[in-house]
Amino acid sequence: MSDFQRHPRTGAPYVNSLHRVTQRGYPAREPYGRPSSFGHQIEDAVGLKMWSERMVLLGATRIANLADAANLDPDDETDRVTLDSFVTSAKDAAGAFLAARRGTAVHEITAEIDRAEPSALTLIAAEEFGITAAAADALVAAWDRMRTRAALEVLAVEATVVDDRWRLAGTLDRIVRLGRDLHFGRVTVPAGTVCILDVKTGQLRLNGDGLPRYWHTYCIQIASYAGSVPYVVDEVPWLEHRDVWPFEVSARHGLLLHLDVAGALQNGEAVAHLFYVDVAQGRAAGNLARSARDWQRRGDLFHPSLDGPLTVAVATNGRATS
């Protein structure tokens, strides 16, 4: 599967501009954001930040060369890059990225099943992250049975898309068509609806009503995908282009399917949950995120006094002089 050309440091995807061209007449390349992180603009990230700090502390105790960072200057541009690499190494040593790597492996396994292209190499790669063949089989079976029970017809798998409204670009998991009515409490999604289905594999925490906690950004992510168009990636950048779907994607309904990877490994059970996603609410929250992003980029909020700064020198004789 082709992926976007990305910024080497930030990973931001590059897409062809809708309006600007280069001096040679080719579309100008523009960096877009990612739907998966767009909602972080308005997310309460205190808990995640504290967890990240704990992972750094834990991982630091496991890095042999940590003392090499003692004399680095965090305000020096070169040293910052080195310090950032220590932070990444510490998190890696603490296992902070393991769940994400396992999730990526399970994503690829299920995508290959839906594309009818299963690969033994993907299973071998999954085993490197501790996903046994038995656990992988159970997760695939849970995915397949949930898809069958909900009568989901897969129309697109791992499709690259662009959302020009919010200047985002990414790869959606699935577009599906419902073969029957699906009921979610007070909401019924009618048969024939075409909607985004996102796959999540991280830890699922439910509140007292059986609803997921800490998932607000997923709603924005799915709303972005619902408002996106296909983007055809090419090795020759100026040949990349936007396309159209041969079906109408619902701007109201979305789905999220959670596969419990940790449960399959720790409890011997691969559990699949299917959740309804209110795309309209996600779109409203996404507009808030866009406003927050625009606010953070403003450069007209403070103005220096026209009288200029006032300087007081620190005198060596103990008295200050202007």
How confident is the model at residue 319, as a pLDDT?
A: 64
- 174 lies in a domain? yes
Q: For 266, how many CA atoms within 13 A lie in the half-sphere containing its CB?
A: 6
Which two three-digit tokens encode residue 141?
A: 């079976």
β-bridge mates for residue 231, sequence order: 242
For the chain, the domain total comes to 1
- 82 lies in a domain? no
- 9 lies in a domain? no
Point out the residues of the chain with pLDDT beneath 70: 1, 318-322
- 69 lies in a domain? no
Which two three-digit tokens encode residue 23?
A: 């001096």
Instruction: Quickly tell me which residue has 């992180």 as its tokens.
Output: 37
- 313 lies in a domain? no
Residues 36, 38, 41, 44: what is their CA dihedral angle, to the nearest 10 degrees? Answer: -20
95: left (phi over 0), alpha (psi -120 to 50) or beta: left
pTM above 0.75, yes or no: yes
- 318 lies in a domain? no
Question: Which amino acid appears at position 78 of this protein?
Answer: T
What is the domain extent for residue 211?
151-293
- 247 lies in a domain? yes
- 271 lies in a domain? yes
How confident is the model at residue 226, as a pLDDT?
A: 98
Residues 149, 153, 159, 164: what is their CA dihedral angle, to the nearest 10 degrees? Answer: -100
β-bridge mates for residue 255, sequence order: 197, 276
